[in-house]
Amino acid sequence: MLPRKTIYWSTTLQSVKNSLLLHGGVGSDSSLSAVLHEYARKAFRKDSSLHSVVNATVAMEDDPVFNAGTGSYQRIDGSIQMDAAVMTETGFGSVIGIERIRNPVKLALDVMQKTPHLIMAGDGALRLARLLGYEEYDPDTKKAQEQRAKVMNELDSPEAAKNPRYSPFKRMGDISKLILPEDTVGAVACIKGKFAAAVSTGGATPMLRGRVGDSPIPGAGIFCGTKGAVVATGIGEEIIKHMLCISVYNEIGSKSLPRILQEKASDFEGPVGLIAIDREGYSYFSSKPMAVGFISEEME
């Protein structure tokens, strides 16, 4: 049972074929859904779920409103390190802690399609990006600078010890309670019977340099197989502990998708959101407002 005081944002199952669903992160302003519908419309490819989810994620990475690509949050030291992943029924690629490129999700796709590896991190990932022609790009924004300044002020204040979001960070204990609720963009699709998923994030602030969230970890922030595709948003540490996306995926077919999402998300104390698609249709669920966009072949 869900805690009674919690309000959830969800949809019932939408049974449509050849569709693409995207989200702008748990905590994102749901009035942005109109923007995401437009991104979905432009990203949709009738012949490829993989290209549809990557195109949609690139559009959100390029929009500074969202915490991915341009607009990614800064770490405590002021740096920006981004994580991204793509997954199909047969392939996976992700990048961890990538810096100074514009579209981490494109590099995740290149890891999957152009290297013998599944996951690339840090300076090796950056070297790969430059080898493949990714130009130097600074994803920093005024929004990220102001957000970090605010977090640093709050961490420094005498009240921080009493603030459940900050006191654990001061002790370097459980950092999960510190994390602000808006993060991560993601997309899932089923087109011509094939599933795909993509995710990208600037991380969940406040965070140390080198911290890795759920997004680039298969089974945690992303999962895709022959039964469906799932992407999560929320506190990366919590999502990893629950291996949230594979846990949702494993239940596909046993009950309705909305029910699976609701049951899995109700285990979380912190903000969490899920989007998923199976052979019956798509659904989403989040514990705070979350912008979502959608397109199907029928709507074109």
Q: Which part of the chain contacts ligand GLY (CB under 6 A), choosing from 68-76, 92-100, 196-204, 269-277?
A: 196-204
Closest by CA position to 144, among listed 100, 206, 96, 97: 206
DSSP string, 89-138: SS-EEEEEEE-S-S-HHHHHHHHHHHSS-SEEEHHHHHHHHHHTTPPP--
Binding letters toward ligand GLY, positions 125-164, x by CB under 6 A:
----------------------------------------
Q: Tell me if 178 sits within 8 A of 165, measured CB to CB.
A: yes
| Interface with ligand GLY, residue 184, by CB under 6 A | yes
Query: Closer to ligand GLY at the Cβ: 43 or 204?
Result: 204
The contacts of residue 56 (CB under 8 Å, 6+ apart) are 20, 22, 39, 40, 43, 187, 198, 293
Name residue, tokens 């991915």: 68
Nearer to ligand GLY among residue 14 and residue 176 (C-beta): 176
Cβ proximity of 183 and 24 under 8 Å: no
For the chain, count helices (H), then strands (E): 9, 12
Written as six digits, the tokens of 144 are 């990220």
Q: What type of residue sits at position 138?
A: D
Q: Which of 57, 88, 141, 184 is catalytic?
A: 184
User: Could you tell me the smallest distance in angstroms from the CB atom of residue 223 to ligand GLY?
Assistant: 14
Stretch that binds ligand GLY, among 143-151, 156-164, 207-215, 246-254 (CB under 6 A): 207-215
Query: CB 210 → ligand GLY: shortest distance, Å?
Result: 12
DSSP H or E run through 170: helix 167-171
Q: How far apart are CA 243 and CA 182, in angstroms?
A: 20
Instruction: Compute the least distance from the CB of residue 115 to ligand GLY, in Å.
Output: 23
Instruction: Please pick, from the candidates 203, 228, 258, 271, the single residue that binds ligand GLY as defined by CB under 6 A.
Output: 203
- In 3-state terms, what secondary structure has residue 86? strand
Q: Rounded distance, CA 34 to CA 177, Å? A: 31
Binders of ligand GLY in range 5-44 (CB under 6 A): none
DSSP 243: T
CB of 58 to ligand GLY, least distance (A): 18
Using the contact rule CB under 6 A, the part of the chain among 68-76, 100-108, 118-126, 211-219 near ligand GLY is 211-219
Residue nearer to ligand GLY on the CB measure, 18 or 70 = 70
Is 110 a binding residue for ligand GLY by CB under 6 A? The answer is no
Respond yes or no: is residue 184 known to be catalytic.
yes
| Residues 228-287 close enough to bind ligand GLY by CB under 6 A | 233-236
Min dist CB 201 to ligand GLY, Å, is 4
List the one residue from 201, 205, 286, 287 that touches ligand GLY (CB under 6 A): 201
Contact residues for ligand GLY (CB under 6 A)?
183-184, 201, 203-204, 213-215, 221, 233-236
Active site amino acids: 184
